[in-house]
Structure 1
Amino acid sequence: MSRLSAALAAGLLLSLEASGKTVRGLFRSEAARQQHGQFITKFMYQGRNGLLACRLDNPALAVEKEARLLLYRDMEPDLDNLSCSQRLGKAQIAVPLSQEERNQTIPLQPSPTAWQVLYADRYTCEESSATPSYADLGFTLLLFNPDSAGNPLDHFSAEEAGLHSFYFLLLLAYFVACCIYVQPLHQALRKGGPMHTVLKVLTTALALQGCSALCNYIHLARYSRDGTGIPVMGSLAEFWDMVSQVSMLYMLLSLCVGWTLSRGRKPQSRPLQWERSPASTAVAVGGVVTQGGLLLWEQYSESGGEHHSYHAQQSLAGVLLLVLRVGLSLLLASVLYQITSTERSTLKRDFYLCFAKGCFLWFLCHPVLFLASAVFNDHQREKVVTIGVILCQSISMVILYQLFLSRSLYWEVSSLSSVSLPLTMSRTNHRGRL
């Protein structure tokens, strides 16, 4: 009965041009021969009634080629060491392609399991003979997980489930915070003052994170309907997030390194000002270029060209990016230690320590979460890292905002007049007396 309901659901979906994860392309006999099975896609099934549905453009050609899909559980590390015939024989499920539409129910999965889909035909293991010049076989492949009612209608692989709801809640939080704080922040930016540049960079970085979350939400909302989404929106989300990352890095390095290099020849009444010098600018620009290069390398080093979160480090570039973050954390720790070790004022030391908390949370959350994700299951790791990094970096921005817009702490450590500082208690009281 469950197989019948799965088949009926698939037929209804196909007739309505709706789909789960959708893969369109060409089955190529030559590619299958070279690779001992042409890799098509990977999908993580969970629960009962998972479904694979395949639509062919030319079923007669598929029959002549004896075309078939082979499904492997993603826990066969020795597949590459097997001969062609042994590899094809290792498939857990073989789906012959002899009809225009073919539906295959995936057996019950006790826990979320990744399945690889390969294409093979009668020519795949024929090493000596030449492959006839058949036309390539066009296909549309649909992959579904069961929804909460047990029907194969869930468009997301197990490792993607929940991200759509997370980005919706994140955007809702951004909207509420914007409604509450946009007016006082706008007033603070209009007044200028010693922290004007810092507040502009913080605001820009936060706005870029909001744009990234919006693009991700739009992409996943479309993906939930057609299984394809809007890849350009996914790429834009990654781009805005990368720009936000390098903006924050430039600001933090400029504040710490610039202040350290200039504190011996300039008055220290204003802690962590944006002090420009050739050396501090070179350090900040060097860090930004290095991180930006690694982020771009990490994005383009993944195979398959599919949209993915760069927070899931799965390449050499990703590992180097984590190492860079740890190295920058050590650099900032050294710089802030030099500042606090010679500072006599308790209030200023508290100011620097609060700034250090924001910095370390920003840089170290990614490496720490990446290591901590090893204790989670495969389908949870990417979500733990992605959601954790976004939340931790948002909290870091809140800490820095509170520090530089503080009504009491920054007013006392900066030794500036309350008239030039935004959101000060003394200015509020003065207005009340007037």
Structure 2
Amino acid sequence: MGPLRLLAVALTCCCWPRGSQSKTLRGSFSSAAARDAQGQSIGHFQFHGDHALLCVRINNIAVAMGKEAKLHLFQAPEWLKLQENSQDYSCHEKLAKAQLTVTMNQTEHNMTVSQSPSPQTWHVLYADKYTCRAAEEAPPEEDVPFEMVLLNPDAEGNPLDHFSAEESGLHEFFFLLVLVYFVITCISAQSLWQALKKGGPMHTVLKVLTTALLLQAGSAFANYIHFSSYSRDGLGVPWMGSLAEFFDIASQIQMLYLLLSLCMGWTIVRMKKAQSRPLQWDSTPASTGTAVVIVLTQSVLLLWEQFEGTGHHSSHSHHNLAGILLLILKVCLALSLGCGLYQIITVERSTLKREFYITFAKGCILWFLCHPSFACISVIFNDYQRDKVITIGVILCQAVAMVILYRLFLSHSLYWEVSSLSSVTLPLTIASGHKSRPHF
């Protein structure tokens, strides 16, 4: 079993990434939970526009009124201040800091949320008359089931949009991305299939690139299905969001192993063999071992980030230590592989080979540096826009990098097929008697 298959099994067994948090919340208001935490945390939402709406429906209104049940809404700055200095406030002082309070005295309560000039995150907290009482006084065990719908205004100003400010636009983006993938598939599928059937020295590379691209397309399609459902009911299809995350991570691992295998193989072959010998993709213990170690390192960081992440596309976030280490790893890989390819390019006399390596270096560096670059660029945007900028930018740049590599290897595969000089002029040629190939 190849290293990528082992990683796929590990990802499936150890981690099932989370999709975006639903904005139709269902559960129970619990007096015991509220007293233990000085307020039961219900959820948060980024409201925007002039007609944002919070709608709460409860069935057992008599119990809610008997408990004097209330919802307390805190804006993000005040909420963060309370969390950081929780010991400085008593229970009553903490609840008094809420910017908005909703008394649960109706079966359905609709409240318009006032807005600041820019979208603002609001945190919802449940409390009742037992929340701040002494611990020895046991609250009633009966909970109050509820359904809470959080809505932003749509294009016509009506409160019907389930997407928070940080998620708005992602549905349309994934629709366009799926459409582009479909059009490209219709145009290129036949020629690609013919190239794969003919074999040749580029066969393994094209096969791996095809797998990575299919995983990226599958991730986009799963995201589109999830967000399409999400736009209607605020719940979506969580397992589709999780599947999208899994496909995206698997594609990153596949591409990383491919790029490392190529670069390490070329570098090691060049050091060991004379310049007149054709370059090969050698599956030596050194090149394979280095690639596997780096792939395992990235996989561990991705798993770590997934366990700590809370939002959609957590594999593109950099809000925790694992995310920062991933960015550093990608920068180091780009610098290392870039330097190795530069050394090959500067001493290469063949124009064909030099152009091959230059184009490959562009796709390779774009793949590794797009994430760190957009993480830096996102700093100039507002908080609610940063994750969207990183997610959209990284997905598009990685797709472009794969297209660059596809065109490169496919064109050289065709050239190898018709050129009698290919055995001495092209990289990735097959040396006589050389049977070793990496397994994916």
TM-score range, shorter chain: 0.7 to 0.9
State the match for 2:433 in structure 1: none
Once the two structures are superposed, the pairs formed by residues 6-405 of structure 1 within 5 Å of their partners are 21-76=23-78, 77-80=80-83, 81=85, 82-266=89-273, 273-303=280-310, 307-405=312-410
TM-score for the superposition, normalised by structure 1: 0.86
CA contact (8 A) 1:48 1:109 kept: no
Look up the SS of the partner of 1:43 in the other structure: strand
Inter-partner Cα distance in structure 1 for 2:198 and 2:275:
23
CA contact (8 A) 1:48 1:107 kept: yes
Deviation at 1:41, TM superposition (A): 0.9
Look up the SS of the partner of 2:155 in the other structure: coil
User: In percent, how many aligned pairs have the same letter?
Assistant: 59
Deviation at 1:62, TM superposition (A): 1.1
Deviation at 1:21, TM superposition (A): 2.1
Counterpart residue type for residue 28 of structure 1: S
Inter-partner Cα distance in structure 2 for 1:253 and 1:408:
20
CA contact (8 A) 1:365 1:392 kept: yes
Deviates more, 1:33-42 or 1:401-410: 401-410
Counterpart residue type for residue 64 of structure 1: G
CA contact (8 A) 2:222 2:241 kept: yes
Look up the SS of the partner of 1:295 in the other structure: helix
Counterpart residue type for residue 94 of structure 2: R
1:249–1:111 CA distance, 2 compared to 1 (3 A): same
**CA deviation vs aligned residue, 1:124-147 (integer Å, no higher than 9, x gap):** 222444332422222111000011
Inter-partner Cα distance in structure 2 for 1:270 and 1:72:
69
TM-score for the superposition, normalised by structure 2: 0.85
**CA deviation vs aligned residue, 1:156-194 (integer Å, no higher than 9, x gap):** 111111111100100110011111111111111111111
Deviation at 1:30, TM superposition (A): 2.4
1:365–1:414 CA distance, 2 compared to 1 (3 A): farther
Deviation at 1:417, TM superposition (A): 6.2
1:407–1:279 CA distance, 2 compared to 1 (3 A): closer
Inter-partner Cα distance in structure 2 for 1:143 and 1:366:
31
CA contact (8 A) 2:269 2:280 kept: no
1:138–1:247 CA distance, 2 compared to 1 (3 A): same
Inter-partner Cα distance in structure 2 for 1:272 and 1:75:
58
Deviation at 1:155, TM superposition (A): 1.3
Look up the SS of the partner of 1:111 in the other structure: coil
Look up the SS of the partner of 1:405 in the other structure: helix
CA contact (8 A) 1:336 1:356 kept: yes
Deviation at 1:339, TM superposition (A): 2.0
Unaligned runs of 5+ in 2: 1-21, 428-440
Look up the SS of the partner of 2:101 in the other structure: strand
Deviation at 1:293, TM superposition (A): 1.7
Deviates more, 1:191-200 or 1:316-325: 316-325
Inter-partner Cα distance in structure 2 for 1:271 and 1:125:
77
Deviation at 1:320, TM superposition (A): 1.4
Inter-partner Cα distance in structure 2 for 1:325 and 1:61:
55
CA contact (8 A) 1:197 1:274 kept: no
State the match for 1:416 in structure 2: 422
CA contact (8 A) 1:269 1:415 kept: no
Deviation at 1:35, TM superposition (A): 2.2
Inter-partner Cα distance in structure 1 for 2:35 and 2:187:
61
CA contact (8 A) 1:72 1:92 kept: yes
Larger relative CO (CA 8 A, sep 6+): 1 or 2?
Answer: 2
Inter-partner Cα distance in structure 2 for 1:271 and 1:153:
63
Counterpart residue type for residue 79 of structure 1: L
Look up the SS of the partner of 1:263 in the other structure: helix
Inter-partner Cα distance in structure 2 for 1:93 and 1:388:
37
Inter-partner Cα distance in structure 1 for 2:104 and 2:338:
61
Unaligned runs of 5+ in 1: 1-19, 422-434
Compute the RMSD of aligned alpha carbons.
2.4
Inter-partner Cα distance in structure 1 for 2:250 and 2:287:
20
**CA deviation vs aligned residue, 1:76-99 (integer Å, no higher than 9, x gap):** 232122332221111110001122
Inter-partner Cα distance in structure 2 for 1:310 and 1:108:
31
Inter-partner Cα distance in structure 1 for 2:162 and 2:403:
35
CA contact (8 A) 1:52 1:105 kept: yes
Inter-partner Cα distance in structure 1 for 2:81 and 2:386:
24
Counterpart residue type for residue 334 of structure 1: C
Inter-partner Cα distance in structure 1 for 2:196 and 2:273:
25
